[in-house]
Amino acid sequence: MSAHHLIVGGQRSGKSRQAEALALRWPGRVSVVATALAADDEMRARIEHHRAMRPAHFHTLEAPLALSAALQAADDAQHLLVVDCLTLWLVNWLMPMDGEPDLAGWAAERAALLDVLPRLRAQVIFVSNEVGWGVSPMSREARHYVDELGRLNQDIARRCGQLTLMVAGQAWSRPVEDMTHA
């Protein structure tokens, strides 16, 4: 089973803080693979807050779209990669601020990520939101996004050895079960 880890939860559930706590125990190099785009003042402030709260020895890699290439470029067995977060990475593909979604590009990048993940020597901690527990969104685009994120989270979880659900700042963790024969 893979040493990768998926941390999911609602907004402000403590996902990033949990990923950081795990990363602080890592004996080697740690990089945060940031996926957010600073499209407005509020998002710029959020990004700056996350940066300021990170330990100084954590490196930051920007990967708003080409996540698989960023993971491959940083791949090293002594390197821990914290992807924060899949939620915004998907937003960048399906709900870009400037233009139409690139659905073919998204499909190719998603496939590339799922393909490369089992081959990485670096351990990866993924952070993602669990957004499908609420009311079904009103718009077709938002429903598509929720469905895609749910599928992505499931596919990433199947390639990880550990899954953590964050609820009100509390971590509920367990090994991922092999569901291929269920």
Q: Rounded distance, CA 58 to CA 23, Å?
A: 9
Collapsing DSSP to helix, strand or coil, 178 comes out as coil
* Residue 80 in this model has a pLDDT that exceeds 70: yes
| Catalytic residue annotation | 50
Residue 145 has what pLDDT? 92
**How far, in Å, CA of 105 to CA of 79, rounded?**
28
Q: For the segment 4-24, what is each residue's pLDDT rounded down to a tens digit?
A: 999 999 888 999 999 999 999
- Strand segments (E) across 42-152: 59-62, 79-84, 123-129
- Summarize pLDDT for 33-71 with one digit per residue, the tens: 999 998 889 989 988 988 888 899 999 999 999 999 999
* Higher per-residue pLDDT: 1 or 134: 134
Residue 182 resides in a domain: no
How much is the pLDDT for 39? Answer: 84
In the predicted structure, residue 157 carries a pLDDT above the cut 90: yes
Binding residues for GTP are 9-16, 34-36, 51-54, 62, 84
Domain with 96, as residue range(s), is 5-175
Evaluated on CA atoms 94, 53, 163, 81, the torsion sign reads: positive
Packed helices 86-94 and 103-116: angle between N→C axes, nearest 10 degrees? 150
CB 129 within 8 A of CB 85: yes
Q: Say how many domains are in the chain.
A: 1
Least confident span in 86-90, 109-113, 140-144, 153-157: 140-144
Across the chain, mean pLDDT equals 92
pLDDT of res. 114: 98
Are 174 and 19 in contact by the 8 Å Cβ rule? The answer is no
Is 180 inside a domain boundary? no
Angle, CA of 61, 63 and 68, to the nearest 5°: 105
Position 70 scores a pLDDT of 98
- Whole-angstrom distance, CA of residue 5 vs CA of residue 58: 18
Please indicate, yes or no, if residue 9 is contained in any of the structural domains. yes
Q: Residue 181 domain-assigned? A: no
Please report, for the domain that includes residue 25, its CATH number: 3.40.50.300
